[in-house]
Structure 1
Amino acid sequence: MTSYIEPLAQESTPSIIADKLRQAIAHGELKPGAQLGEAELARQLGVSRGPLREGMQRLTQEGLLVSIRNRGLFVIDMTKDEIRDMYLARGAIERAAAQKIVAGDHEAAGEELHGLVRKMSDAEGDPAAVGEIDIAFHELLVHLANSSRLSRIHRTLITETRMCIHALEATYSGAEARVTEHQHIAEAIAAGDHLLADDLLVAHMDDAITRLTTR
């Protein structure tokens, strides 16, 4: 017999620390190439160094931090080659997610995605808001595939995407075009057209690479 009265799972302190650092990296508070000062971070977060080190180790394993011998721990720097490589991985994850969605209740998934497209359209004129909804669209796309592995890998890639957008915001504009691109992706998924959705995602990723690497 299943028991529903059992201890609640609580998120560990290192996990909470890793998430806070991940968000700080994503939103530019910890900038690309910045060195992490262990003592200062422990003071700011109000934690001891043991859990902090474990949290930072998790981000090192994810690839968001890099340890340089005899120098310390640094936030990765998203070069043009890194951006291209990140979008290569993102494209693979999102195209797999779209394929899985189309094999299921694609009409409901398409409607959920359309909801974010409408919000993106309403936010035109506010680049920061459009950028956040853009990212939310892709997070929802992968979430709708109902694959914990795709979602786990995608989380790190989305953090890197945010890093790029915050660092290169001046080159990542064109809200109207972005609304249209996302609308077409949502329409293809709603229609259950996997091949079209795949082509649109490839074009969308290529367009993002061009905008983020043209300086």
Structure 2
Amino acid sequence: MIPTVTDSDEALLNLLRKQGGMGISQLVDELGVTATAVRQRLARLMEDELICREEVVRTGRGRPSHCYQLTEKGRRSGGNNYADLVDVLWAEIRAIDDPEIRVGLLRRIAKQLAERAGELPGGSLEEKMHRLAEMMKQRHIPFEVDESGELPVLTAVACPYPELVEHDKSICAMERMLFSEVLGETMRISGCRPLGDACCSFEPSSASKLPVGEP
């Protein structure tokens, strides 16, 4: 899953982009925060594989120190604010008159997003849905799984695409395709915020015959 980087973490990444490898004391001086705060940021970024830690060999006595630097993934993480580009591209997708071409493009986009998200470990559908909800939470997009009914329901507590949905509810259809690809199960939209529901929710439906381009 593509990690979501906070402003404070981005400040640390930008320092490493400019300075190269740095130690904790250097980062503390540059960022003006405590060593504990720096270590917490470093731990998050290492977990997301955006930075790595290397041991610095000392010639004399004393404890070895560590140097933190960007990974290849971290170097590619800069400049990811594509909001305007996304708006333009989505407008162009909506402008495609041929529904078959439009739906085919949406399906390919959903498949690519699913591949970038990565495969979920094996297990039951419910377990996969819980793992998917956790992956979304790591991107600061709260999702929940409700197993109280006959079928488990995946609910988006907050919309991942609030501005796009204001103009076009078909973004929900692409999200349905994305979750179907990631979970390996045909999903249907059981609740749709743009249509008046409190949240968007998705549930498995092996008997669903909805067209892939419709919610």
Bigger RCO of structures 1 and 2 (CA < 8 A, at least 6 apart): 1
The structure in which a higher percent of residues are helix is: 1
Report TM bin, short chain. Answer: 0.3 to 0.5
Q: 1 or 2, which has the higher strand percentage? A: 2
